[in-house]
Amino acid sequence: MLMTAMEFAQFPVLSVILFSTILALVVILLIPDDRPQLVKQVSLGFAAVGLALCLYVYFAYDTQKGGLQFVERVLWVKSLGIYYFLGVDGINVPMLLLTAVVLFTGVLTMWELERRVKEYFALTYLLVAGVYGVFMSMDLFFIFVWYDVSLFPMYPLIAIWGGTRKEYGAMKLTLYLLAGSVLILPGILYLWAVAGAHTFDLFELQRMGFDVNVQRIAFLMLYLGFGVLAGVWPFHTWSPVGHVAAPTAVSMIHAGVLMKLGAYGILRVGMTLCPDGLVYWSDLMALLATIGIVYGAFVGLAQTDLKYVIGYSSVSHMGIVGLGLATMTVDGINGAVFQMFSHGVMTALFFSAVGYIYDKTHTKMIPELGGLSKTMPKASAFFIIAAFCGIGVPCMSSFWAELLVFISAVKTYPIRGILAVSGLVVSALFMLRVVQKTFYGEKNPRWEHIPDVPLSLASPRIILVGILVFFGLFPRLILDVIQSAVIPFVNSL
Amino acid sequence: MNSLSVYLVLGAVLFSLGLFGVILRRNLIGMLISIELMLNGANLNFMAFNRFLAPEPAVGQIVTLFVMGIAAAEAAIGLSIILALFRRLHSINVEQARRLEG
Amino acid sequence: MMWLAKDPVLLAASACATLPFVSMVVILIFTRRYRSMSAAISISAIAACLLSALYLLWTLRHAPEPVQYQWAWIVSNDMIIPFGFLLDRLSLLMLTIVAVIAFLVQVYSLGYMAGDPGFSRYYAFQSLFAWAMMTMVIAPGMLQLYIFWELVGLASYLLIGFYYEKWSASQAGKKAFVMTRLGDIGFFLGIIAVLLGFGDLGILSMNEAAQAHRIAPSVVTLSALLIFCGVVGKSAQFPLLTWLPDAMEGPTPVSALLHSATMVAAGVYMMSRIFPFFAASPDAMAVTLFIGTVTMLLASTMAMVAYDIKQVWAYSTISQLGFMVMALGAGGYFAGVFHLTTHAGFKALLFLCSGIFIHEYHTNDMREIGRGGGRKLIIPMVCMTVGALALSGIFPLSGFFSKEAIMGVLAAKPNKVWLVAGLLGALMTAYYSFRLIFMILFPRQPAHHDAAHQGTGHDDHGHEAGHHGATFWAMAWPVMILAGITLVLGFFHKDLEHFLLGAGPAVHEAEFHGEGAGHGLGHYVLLFSAVSLALGGIVWAWLEFGRKGAAQEGFLRRYPKVEALFANRWYIDHAYRWLLDHLVYGGFTNLFTRNDRRVIDGAIDGICRFTVGGGRVVSFLQSGMVQYNLVLMVAGVGAVILFFVL
């Protein structure tokens, strides 16, 4: 038994996960246009393989040992010091699992897609390849390249399959994110040049250490650059607009995974390489995060479009991630990473639930819906459960994340922490308001003919709910993994 | 005035005539011919330098041959563009082809 | 699983903390279509919990030390949040109360909810509540308590908004959740304050350390006050009291279980749970006493003018919770807990009786019920009178003993204001409860209408009894059991006191003042005055509502301004509405939304427009003539050459 495990560890499982998505992309492109069903089946198959492998990595990751595992490191361009360097630690293992879960459920959610099926799934796989690449790579060059790979497909995905104001949303999103990467690239190159060691290897650079002033400049660039993608206030306005415009599963992947990419970038690149820069800017980070938490909730109160509501709740929840990172404590970063995971699952559930409702009613305006619980109790239940998770009801996974973040935030930044905690009341108010206006009330005769969601279509949502509740009841299963990376990380700060 | 200068002056004259033609002629074919003139001016320079200054490696001749090859390709592409334009605009006057106007 | 079997105490505690949850999951996922199966699952789960609770109470009744089990729920660096059970006398008592009433209410609901389309959902939520409440009660640490406290709030939200197609119901659920959440923010911050100032969230260690003055007094006061915010929210104290009357939108059994007997008492329970901690801070205790008194008086005045039968009991619940908080704030640990116990019994009884009336007459208005012939329903009428007598504190019902205990504690305070307030409260309590009873018993309505109405009422009853016999008895039995408990519970006064205070010297000490002064001559004067005031309240109600020819208009009718003040809940709701409209919606939301649209998006769109406009301007240079470009190019090259040559 031990032997097989050892042998399997030699197997380049991370590369397989990464290249399976590219293989999927190629295979999907080779399928003839007139067989959309086959495209979906192939997509689902590859997603399932990815999920299985990510689950394997998640459970095979040795939390006792900690550190980087499943490492694959090959020198790629010698003159520049670029390495093909994949590895996982406690921080990105949950992210990989999240990506796989969201991809799998996203494919299931789009099962009823009819327009340009092949192109849609091909672009999705391109997007996911970028996401996996960023999460796995430990080389700055590859992180940046994969990062841009993941940004590019968003534009066609939104502009072709999108909904409300899709061109505007797609353009705004793309411009914002590219502006972010315009800041990241010089940041990375600056660090590379200052180090002068001709290496893009993250850990070699970390060992080298940088001058305080260099760190301050570089951290600010990286923070703002990645922060745009993480929805840091005041660079958040692309997120609601983009989510509203995007098709369901793209919103799921985007809000669920891509926004985490930003936070992950801040943590993995910015905070790892520039700890002193972090110390210098942490006050600003905490301030922006707190504003984001409270602000997102208040603006959410005024929205009338279901997807806008979710978009602003994402702003608020990503603020919690930012606040956790800014505390620079084990609890705070634990909570932040946990929140990245649970928020990913939660928003995926949100968008997935809205997706079904929108597909059937062709509206997502709250005043037009109303009383949906009567006609489609199951479809409504999924949204309501996600809303509870968003409010921070205990025994749902995001509760634990918020708990950890808030405890350490009040400890580190008392006033901002208290403000952020008070934001919980507003977020409860705005979530419950939406739930009430959309799902409660008299039966709306307009939607009476709509069937409730059948089991086959409900399956992605069931999986997501299951994950939320499972990690809510047994938080140690994920927290111990996260912690195995965060404790050494904080000690090295 | 030695012989190299003669060739260089001749090349410069050819080049300038070509440039003059490219800029002033409104006929697309004329412009193409003028471009050929410019290329030949350059070729003459190459040959002259090769002949008088560095005869051994014969790099100048090679480049000239290369340029001639490119000129042929360029003429082919240019003519096909002109043909396409003519089909579209029924004219080979460059003033008609102003789609790129801002 | 072997270790479970070896330790029956642990097994029983785990049963309480898991079975209802399992029942909820099973009902929600599998048996939503099969109503009777859902009810059977839920009731058998709660019955098992009841047996476990009784078993625990019996086995551990003489245990000198609290029994505690803990497992790490999450571990983050050096912070460990445990999940576990703390079984001491207080938690066992509360566990039993919750299990008994939850069981009775679930049985009662078989009748009350029969035929409701959401029957299975109802039982699933009931199970959720039972699970959360019981796990909260036996929590060994403040964080676990907080977690299940929140879950109880969730169950309350779901059950208040059970008839979600009714707008007012969903509104009430939202209000309840948000208002208690407001208090819970304070609670949460209080927990963090304890964590930062002391470092351990175990209830026993907190109490011990506070008692031994090992925590800085400022920390104790600050965290006690913050934690008290949670009590204010959950137990509907001033100023967060208005959600509770609205919560009556839920089904009546829910009101009985959650919004009178157990859930709202959770605040009081939590306070007594960490009573020594509170007691270590005189300032916090003073605030507590003040808030409790204000709440008690305000709610009593509101109850005096309400006509909705459930509203009256809701206000009365608030005011009785105020009594408990007063008792605890005055240092009377036993008095508070004892009143909590008796109140759980008689208030559940009152609600369940009202539920029978509501079920029968389809109205909440006590005048309508009276006119409909409410007194024909003998069992609920008698039981409700028993409950009302207990509520008023008439010997020998349970309420008498607990109220006396509270009065004793208040009397021991050097400042007699609190005692006067308490006696005034007792008077008002008796007045409003018998106002309700007399209005149902002696309906005052034109005779011409009378016969017809009475007839239908009677018919209804006969119809019900004949046709839905089982339904009626499912509701009647729990009511009778509760009435029995109310009748006898008072006589176990001394036993309970002995049971609870035997718990530890820490609590005893805090109790000292209260009990010491309670005896002697002053005790009898006090007893006499309290009972006579209660009787006075009843007589007053009789004069205004009961006797023949009484106008059935309260004396407050003569002061319309005051009546309006009481009926509008002292305009507290108006204040909230105003704040919500002007501060939240009109203020921050509006400001931030505009900021998003105008400032942030405006700036971004402005930059984009500037870029596009700049492109437009520059594009004038593009005439589209290739040759012009060429000229420029040649000129440019020439310039570069000149630059380098010269």
In the numeric block, which tokens belong to residue C446? 């034109």
Query: What is the bridge-based pairing of β-strands A82-88 and C79-87?
Result: unpaired
pLDDT at A113 over 80: yes
> In whole angstroms, what is the distance from residue C412 CA to residue C580 CA?
42
Angle at which helices C447-467 and C469-489 cross, to 10°: 100
Residue C72: φ, ψ to 5°: -75, 120
Instruction: Give the residue from chain C lying closest to B26, CA to CA.
Output: C627
Position C3 scores a pLDDT of 65
Chain C residue closest in CA terms to B24: C627
Contacts of residue A406 in chain C, CB cutoff 8 Å?
Answer: 188, 192
B29 vs C contacts (CB less than 8 Å): none
B94 in C contact zone (CB under 8 Å): yes
Q: Flag whether residue C83 sits within 8 Å of chain A, measured between CB atoms.
A: no
Last residue of a domain, one of C542, C567, C592: C567
> Taking a C-beta distance cutoff of 8 angstroms, is the pair C309, C366 a contact?
yes
Farthest CA pair distance, chain B:
51
- pLDDT at position B44, please? 92
Residues C382 and C306 in one domain: yes
> Which residues of chain C are within 8 Å of residue B31 when distances are taken between CB atoms?
627
Q: State mean pLDDT over A459-483.
A: 91
Which residue is closest to B95 within chain C, CA to CA? C625
Which segments of C7-72 does DSSP mark as H helices, in order? 8-29, 35-59
What span, in angstroms and rounded, lies between the C-alpha atoms of A47 and C166? 43
What is d(CA C371, CA C376) in angstroms, rounded to the nearest whole number?
11
Shortest alpha-carbon distance between residue A403 and chain C (Å): 9
> What is the crossing angle of helices C265-273 and C119-137, to 10°?
20
User: Within its chain, how far is the Cα of A237 from the centroid?
Assistant: 17
* Cis peptide bond N-terminal to C66, omega within 30: no
C634 closest CB neighbour out of B19, B97, B102 = B19
Parent domain of C275: 2-567
Do C497 and C627 sit in the same domain of this protein? no
Residue A102 clears pLDDT 90, i.e. is over it: yes
Q: Tell me how long chain C is.
A: 646
Size of interface A-C (CB pairs under 8 A): 119
Cβ distance of A299 and C195 shorter than 8 Å:
no
CA-CA distance, A15 to C540, in Å (whole number)? 85
Please give the pLDDT value at position C568: 85
What Rg value do the Cα atoms of chain B yield, rounded? 17
CB contact under 8 A, B23 and C623: no
Query: Is the torsion defined by CA of A160, A163, A168, A171 positive or negative?
Result: negative
Test mutation, C619, C622, C627, chain B, max B CBs within 10 A: C627
pLDDT digits (tens, 9 = 90+) for C109-147: 988 888 888 899 999 999 999 999 999 999 998 999 999
Q: Which helix (H) or strand (E) holds C519?
A: none
C-alpha distances in Å from residue A323, one per residue of A174, C404, C614 = 26, 52, 39
**A87 membership: H or E segment, kind and range:** strand A82-88
Query: A373 vs A245, A343, A378, A435, C594, CA distance in Å?
Result: 25, 24, 8, 10, 32
Question: Which residue is listed with tokens 């002064």?
Answer: C517
Distance from CA of C613 to the nearest CA of B (A): 12
Q: Is C181's CB within 8 Å of A237's CB? A: no
Contact A299 C196 (CB under 8 A): no
pLDDT < 50 regions, chain C:
446-467, 504-518
C612 touches chain B (CB under 8 A): no
pLDDT value, residue C1:
53
Residues A275 and A215 sit within 8 Å (Cβ to Cβ): yes
Which pLDDT score, from 0 to 100, does residue C466 have? Answer: 44
Give the Cα separation of A338 and A201 in Å (integer): 26
Q: Token pair 């097994």 is at which residue?
A: C11
* End residue of a domain, out of C534, C567, C600: C567
Q: Which of C567, C586, C620 is the last residue of a domain?
A: C567
Greater model confidence, A16 or C454: A16
d(CA C456, CA C470): 21
What average pLDDT does this structure show over A404-426? 91
Q: In sequence order, what are the beta bridge partners of C86?
A: C68
Backbone angles phi and psi of A139, in degrees to 5: -125, 130
Distance CA C145, CA C227 (A): 12
- pLDDT on residue C364: 85
Q: Which one, of A452, A269, A443, lies nearest residue A378 by Cα?
A: A452
Cβ separation C621–B97 shorter than 8 A: no
pLDDT at position A5 is 46
Tell me whether residues C627 and B97 touch, CB distance under 8 A: no
Instruction: Say whether both C519 and C595 belong to one domain.
Output: no
**Dist CA C631 CA C614 (whole Å):** 23
Check whether residue C556 and residue C606 sit in a common domain. no
Tell me the C-alpha distance between B52 and A350, whole Å: 80
Provide the residue type at C415 as one letter. N
**Does A299 sit within 8 Å of C77, measured CB to CB?**
no
pLDDT at C460: 43
* Domain boundary assignment for chain A: 10-492
Predicted pLDDT at C507: 46
Q: Render A16-49 in DSSP notation, one character per residue.
A: HHHHHHHHHHHHHHHS-TT-HHHHHHHHHHHHHH
The answer to whether residues C393 and C373 belong to one domain is yes
Q: Are residues C465 and C606 in the same domain?
A: no
pLDDT at A8 over 60: no
User: Of C140, C179, C182, C147, whose CA–CA distance to C160 is shortest?
Assistant: C179
Touching A (3+ Cβ pairs <8 A), the chains are C
**What is the three-class DSSP state of C239?**
coil
Q: Chain A residues with CB inside 8 Å of C593's CB?
A: 298-299, 302
Q: Are C35 and C72 in contact (CB under 8 A)?
A: no
Alpha-carbon distance B80 to B86, whole Å?
10
Contact between C425 and C532 under an 8 Å Cβ cutoff? The reply is no
Comparing alpha-carbon positions, the chain B residue that sits nearest to C618 is: B102
Q: A73 by DSSP, 3-state: which?
A: strand
At B21-73, the pLDDT tens digits run 998 888 889 999 999 999 999 999 999 988 888 877 788 889 999 999 999 99
**Does C167 contact A172 at a Cβ distance shorter than 8 Å?**
no
Tell whether the model's pLDDT for residue A4 goes beyond 60: no
**In this structure, what is the dihedral angle of CA atoms C291, C293, C294, C298, given to the nearest 10 degrees?**
140
Using a CB–CB cutoff of 8 Å, tell me whether B22 touches chain C.
Answer: yes
Cα dist from A382 to A246, A350, A357, A421, C292, whole Å = 20, 8, 11, 26, 40
Distance between CA atoms of residues B4 and C100, nearest Å: 117
Residues of A in contact with C154 (CB under 8 A): 388, 393
Instruction: Give the residue ranges of DSSP H helices in A362-454.
Output: 372-375, 377-391, 397-412, 414-439
- B67 burial via Cβ count (<10 Å: 0-12, 13-18, 19+): middle
CA distance C341 to C504: 20
Q: Is B95 on the interface with C (CB under 8 A)?
A: yes
Indicate the pairing of strand A82-88 with strand A69-77.
antiparallel
Which chain A residues have a beta carbon less than 8 Å from that of C167? Answer: 440-442
Encode burial over A26-50: b for 16+ CB neighbours within 10 A, e otherwise: ebbeebeeeebeebbebbbebbebb
Distance CA A303, CA A296 (A): 11
Q: Which single residue is written with the structure tokens 């942030």?
A: C600
Tell me, yes or no, whether C543 and C615 share the same domain: no
Which of B2 and A71 is assigned the larger pLDDT?
Answer: A71
Which of B15, B16, B23, B99 is the best residue to mutate to test the C interface, defined by the most C CB atoms within 10 Å of its own CB? B23
Give the total number of structural domains in chain C: 2
The pLDDT > 70 percentage for chain A reads: 98
Choosing among 1.10.760.10, 3.40.50.2300, 1.10.287.3510, 3.30.70.1050, the CATH entry for B3-96 is: 1.10.287.3510
pLDDT tens sequence across A361-385:
888 888 888 788 888 888 888 999 9
The alpha carbon of residue B23 is apart from the nearest alpha carbon of chain C, in Å, by: 5
DSSP state of A454: P
Residue C333 has, within 13 A of its CA and on its CB side, a CA count of 30
- 3-class DSSP state of C14: helix
A288: closest CA among A217, A339, A228? A228
Return the SS3 of B101: coil
Distance from CA of B51 to the nearest CA of C (A): 26
CB contacts under 8 A, B 71-90 vs C, are: none
**Confidence at residue C467, expressed as pLDDT on a 0 to 100 scale:** 45
Window from A11-25, A440-454, C222-236, C429-443 with minimum mean pLDDT: A440-454
Q: Which two tokens stand for residue A443?
A: 């039966």
Check residue A454 and give its pLDDT: 81
How much of chain A, in percent, has pLDDT values that exceed 90?
40
Distance of CA C211 to the CA centre of its chain: 28
Provide the residue ranges of all domains of chain B, joining segments of one domain with +: 3-96
Q: Model pTM?
A: 0.86
> Do residue C634 and residue B99 have CB atoms under 8 angstroms apart?
no
Q: What is the pLDDT of residue A322?
A: 93
| Alpha-carbon distance A382 to nearest alpha carbon in chain C (angstroms) | 13
User: Chain C within 8 Å of B23 (Cβ-Cβ)?
Assistant: yes
Which residues make Cβ contacts (< 8 Å) with residue B7, sequence separation at least 6?
B44, B45, B47, B48, B51, B52
